[in-house]
């Protein structure tokens, strides 16, 4: 997996407007903007275009300290570490400062750190939205940067000039329209190992990993390439029960994570192998099914569960008969709990050891192929006719459900339109039966299948009468 595009990193101390500038550059609300300092902790990334250039913009958490010895706070140090990684990766850097607060010692400390990076630095003096504030921006020249720009990120003032300078020397993007990369959303409840999984996939400490639930508060969007194919990997905030939301920031994170499910191409539902399927896991799985997204169920921390497998093998070696091995029992129980996602492949893996992670994108490739599978209309109608003959639908509303004709629409997920006698006569049980027949014939692994019923219009014949 390799990184794509030039990278423009946005750094600075907390609450100077980095996320507002990030959203302004990418042209949409990606990063959460809130007056509470420290809302952004991880590196939030998105692709932006400026002129003929396409590049990755990275928003970093507010740097509270540039030296580990100055803080024993785990989260502060982890956030600082994320910012340092962004600085190292960046093609160019925008350092953001706040004109309303003037130059503070932490600005000077961050400035010294950036000057040693050898990267192109543009200083953005933010919140310059009136003449009085504009007169105060001169003091920031003491930070020693040649490229200094007065901006008001919330209004967009001065951002064009800043981007012209920051992206100078960036590679021009190809003229032809590119297929947008597939979005892979990593979803699950708090502390199941989503961020560890992202880092293991990227082989990079891209997101902050902590035992503290709720460490990831926003959806982290990471572009990357597998086998010469571009993807966007989305690490979401842990989806907890709404009754356990403690702040507006957590509420924003929850809403963003739910939106990530609706907007992704494939959702990877991460479960904790030791905890098993919980009520919240089922609620998240329900959101994936309702959004009709492709899905892979990834049982993380399988290395811890393997201890049970070893115990099973010991029992067997002592002559104790076992009906099924541990994995088979686990899978059977999982399928029972998540029966509405029985079409999703299940992967037993470990972000910690890397076990089976290579299979994740093999499954992604399978689902991408299945999403585009198209069934010929004659084959489809033949299957439905055989299904109705073998197992006639029950009477409902005084009528027996009939299918006159069917075809597959050119859309994703796989959607089949049925022309029927009475749509309300299709019971949920019989609908499931028809979908199972489709899967038995053509699999559609990892894809939801949609059935749309349209009642055949009755033609009215009026006899011509002579007047």
Q: Is 346 found in the same domain as 304?
A: yes
pTM score > 0.85 for this model?
A: no
Range of the domain at 352: 182-371
The token pair that represents 326 in the structure block: 């541990």
The chain-wide mean pLDDT, for the chain, equals 81
> In the predicted model, is pLDDT for residue 54 greater than 70?
yes
Q: Which of 91, 412, 31, 19 is nearest to 221 (CA)?
A: 31
Query: What integer pLDDT is reported at residue 326 of this predicted model?
Result: 82
Give backbone dihedrals phi and psi of 103, rounded to 5 degrees, phi first: -80, 125
Q: Is 325 found in the same domain as 208?
A: yes
43: domain CATH number is 3.40.50.300
Q: How many domains does the chain have?
A: 3
Domain boundary among 313, 339, 371: 371
Q: Is position 367 within any domain?
A: yes
Query: What integer pLDDT is reported at residue 29 of this predicted model?
Result: 57
438: domain CATH number is 3.30.300.20
Rounded percentage of the chain residues whose pLDDT exceeds 90 = 46
Q: Is 363 found in the same domain as 382?
A: no
Q: Which of 200, 275, 205, 271 is nearest to 238 (CA)?
A: 271
Q: Is 198 found in the same domain as 105?
A: no
What confidence tier does 76 reach under pLDDT thresholds 50, 70, 90?
low
Q: Is 386 found in the same domain as 252?
A: no
What confidence tier does 306 reach under pLDDT thresholds 50, 70, 90?
confident
Q: Is position 362 within any domain?
A: yes
* Over residues 276-295, mean pLDDT: 93
Contact 5, 45 (CB under 8 A): no
What confidence tier does 416 reach under pLDDT thresholds 50, 70, 90?
very high
Q: Is 341 found in the same domain as 401?
A: no
What confidence tier does 293 reach under pLDDT thresholds 50, 70, 90?
very high
Q: Is 314 found in the same domain as 417?
A: no
Query: What integer pLDDT is reported at residue 40 of this predicted model?
Result: 41
Contact 332, 324 (CB under 8 A): yes
Q: Is 381 found in the same domain as 362?
A: no
Query: What integer pLDDT is reported at residue 320 of this predicted model?
Result: 60
Q: Is position 439 within any domain?
A: yes
Domain boundary among 356, 371, 386: 371
Q: Is position 245 within any domain?
A: yes
Q: Is 20 found in the same domain as 108?
A: yes
For the stretch 133-172, pLDDT in tens is 888 888 999 999 999 999 999 999 999 999 999 999 998 8
Q: Is position 466 within any domain?
A: no
Q: Is 264 found in the same domain as 294?
A: yes
Q: Is position 175 within any domain?
A: no
What angle do the packed helices 326-337 and 302-317 form, to 10 degrees? Answer: 130
Q: Is position 467 within any domain?
A: no
Q: Is 428 found in the same domain as 284?
A: no
Return left, alpha or beta for 94; rule: phi > 0 is left, psi -120 to 50 is alpha, else beta.
beta
Rounded CA separation 20/3 (Å): 25
Q: Which of 39, 460, 440 is nearest to 248 (CA)?
A: 39
More confident residue, 220 or 134: 134
- 261 CB neighbour count, 10 Å cutoff: 21
Exposed/middle/buried for residue 165 (C-beta within 10 Å: 0-12, 13-18, 19+)? middle
Q: Is position 325 within any domain?
A: yes
Q: Is 342 found in the same domain as 210?
A: yes
Rounded percentage of the chain residues whose pLDDT exceeds 70 = 75
Exposed/middle/buried for residue 465 (C-beta within 10 Å: 0-12, 13-18, 19+)? exposed
CA geometry: angle 258, 38, 281, nearest 5 deg: 30
Domain boundary among 166, 195, 213: 166
What confidence tier does 287 reach under pLDDT thresholds 50, 70, 90?
very high
For the stretch 254-271, pLDDT in tens is 666 688 898 899 999 999
Rounded CA separation 134/193 (Å): 46
């Amino acid at each position: 997996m390799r990184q794509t595009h030039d990278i423009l990193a946005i750094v600075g101390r907390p609450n100077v407007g980095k996320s507002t500038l990030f959203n302004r550059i990418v042209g949409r609300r990606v990063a959460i903007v809130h007056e509470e300092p420290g809302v952004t902790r991880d590196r939030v990334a998105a692709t932006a275009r400026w002129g003929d250039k396409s590049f990755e913009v990275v928003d970093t958490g507010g740097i509270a300290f540039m030296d580990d010895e100055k803080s024993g706070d785990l989260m502060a140090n982890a956030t600082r570490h994320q910012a340092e990684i962004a600085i190292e990766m960046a093609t160019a850097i925008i350092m953001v400062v706040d004109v309303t607060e003037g130059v503070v010692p932490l600005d000077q400390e961050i400035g010294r750190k950036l000057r040693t990076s050898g990267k192109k630095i543009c200083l953005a003096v933010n919140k310059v939205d009136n003449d009085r504030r504009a007169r105060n921006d001169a003091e920031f020249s003491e930070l020693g940067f040649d490229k200094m720009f007065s901006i008001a990120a919330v209004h967009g003032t001065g951002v064009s000039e800043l981007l012209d300078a920051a992206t100078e020397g960036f590679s021009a993007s190809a003229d032809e329209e590119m297929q947008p990369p597939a979005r892979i959303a990593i979803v699950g409840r708090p502390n199941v190992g989503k961020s560890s999984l992202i880092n293991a996939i990227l082989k990079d400490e891209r997101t902050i990993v902590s035992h503290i639930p709720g460490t990831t508060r926003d959806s982290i969007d990471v572009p990357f390439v597998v086998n010469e194919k571009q993807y966007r990997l989305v690490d979401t905030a842990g989806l907890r029960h709404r009754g356990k939301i403690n702040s507006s920031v957590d509420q924003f994170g929850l809403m963003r994570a739910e939106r990530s499910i609706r907007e992704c191409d494939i959702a990877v539902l991460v479960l904790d192998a030791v905890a098993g399927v919980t009520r919240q896991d089922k609620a998240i799985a329900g959101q994936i099914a309702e959004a009709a997204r492709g899905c892979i169920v990834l049982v993380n921390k399988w290395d811890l569960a393997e201890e049970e497998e070893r115990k099973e093998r010991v029992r067997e070696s002592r002559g104790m008969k076992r009906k099924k091995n541990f994995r088979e029992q686990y899978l059977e129980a999982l399928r029972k709990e998540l029966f509405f996602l029985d079409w999703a492949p299940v992967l037993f893996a470990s972000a910690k050891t890397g076990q089976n992670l290579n299979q994740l994108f093999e499954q992604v490739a399978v689902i991408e192929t299945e999403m585009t599978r198209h069934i010929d209309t004659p084959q489809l109608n033949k299957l439905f006719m055989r299904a109705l003959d073998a197992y006639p639908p029950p009477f409902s509303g005084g009528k027996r459900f009939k299918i006159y004709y069917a075809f597959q629409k050119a859309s994703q997920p796989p959607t089949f339109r049925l022309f029927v006698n009475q749509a309300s006569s299709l019971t949920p049980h019989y609908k499931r039966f028809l979908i199972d027949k489709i899967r038995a014939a053509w699999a559609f692994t990892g894809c939801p299948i949609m059935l749309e019923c349209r009642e055949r219009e009755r033609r009215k014949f009026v006899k011509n009468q002579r007047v």
